[in-house]
Structure 1
Amino acid sequence: MDYRKKKRLKKIVQHTLLLIFTAIMLYPIVWMAGSSLKESSQVFVDSHLILPDSWKFSNYVEGWQGFAGITFTTFFKNSLFITTVSTVGSIIFSAVVAYSFSRINFKGRKMWFVIMMMTMMLPFEMVMIPQYIMFNWAGWIDTYLPLILPSFFGVPFFIFLIMQFIRTIPKELDQAARIDGCNTISIFFRIIVPLIVPAMMTAAIFSFYWRWDDFMSPLIYLQTPEKYPVSLALKLFSDPNSVTNWGAMFAMTTLSLLPIIIIFFIFQRYIVDGISTSGLKG
Structure 2
Amino acid sequence: MTIFRSRWLPHLFLIAFSAVMVYPILWWLGASLKDVTELKLPRLWPSTPHWENYADGWRFSKDYTFGHFFANTLLMEAANVVGGVFTAAAVAFGFARLHFPLRGFWFSIMLLTLMLPGQVTIVPQYILYNRFGYVDSYVPLILPHYFGGGAFFIFLLVQFIRGLPRDLDDAAKIDGASVYGIFARIILPLIKPALVTVAIFTFIWSWDDFFAQVLYLSSVEKFTVGLALRMFIDQFEIAWGQLLAMSLLSVVPSVILFFFAQKHFVEGIATTGLKG
TM-score range, shorter chain: over 0.9
Tell me the amino acid that sits aligned with residue 54 of structure 1: T
Could you list the per-position Cα deviations for residues 12-35 of structure 1 after superposition, in whole angstroms to 9, with x for gaps in the alignment? 443343333322222222211111
SS of 1:237's equivalent?
coil
Confirm or deny that 1:174 pairs with 2:174: no
Residue 181 of structure 1, CA deviation: 0.8
Confirm or deny that 1:81 pairs with 2:75: yes
Residue 11 of structure 1, CA deviation: 5.0
How many residues of Structure 1 are paired with residues of Structure 2 in the alignment?
A: 272
Confirm or deny that 1:210 pairs with 2:205: yes
Contact kept in structure 2, 1:168 and 1:277, CA below 8 Å: no
* Compared CA separation, residues 113 and 278, structure 1 to 2 (3 A): closer
From 2, 8, 18, the counterpart of 1:6? 2
- After TM superposition, the structure 1 = structure 2 runs for residues 262-273 of structure 1, keeping only pairs within 5 Å, are 262-273=256-267
Residue 68 of structure 1, CA deviation: 5.5
Identical aligned residues as a percent: 44
CA-based RMSD of the aligned residues comes to: 1.6
SS of 1:141's equivalent?
coil
- After TM superposition, the structure 1 = structure 2 runs for residues 113-262 of structure 1, keeping only pairs within 5 Å, are 113-154=107-148, 155-239=150-234, 241-262=235-256
Aligned to 1:21: 17
From 28, 35, 44, the counterpart of 1:32? 28
Residue 96 of structure 1, CA deviation: 0.1
Partner Cα separation in structure 2 for residue 41 and residue 134 of structure 1: 48
Which structure 1 segments of 5+ residues have no match? none
Contact kept in structure 2, 1:161 and 1:275, CA below 8 Å: no
Contact kept in structure 2, 1:165 and 1:278, CA below 8 Å: yes
Contact kept in structure 2, 1:164 and 1:277, CA below 8 Å: no
Could you list the per-position Cα deviations for residues 165-188 of structure 1 after superposition, in whole angstroms to 9, with x for gaps in the alignment? 111111011111111111111111
* Compared CA separation, residues 113 and 225, structure 1 to 2 (3 A): same
Partner Cα separation in structure 2 for residue 259 and residue 213 of structure 1: 12
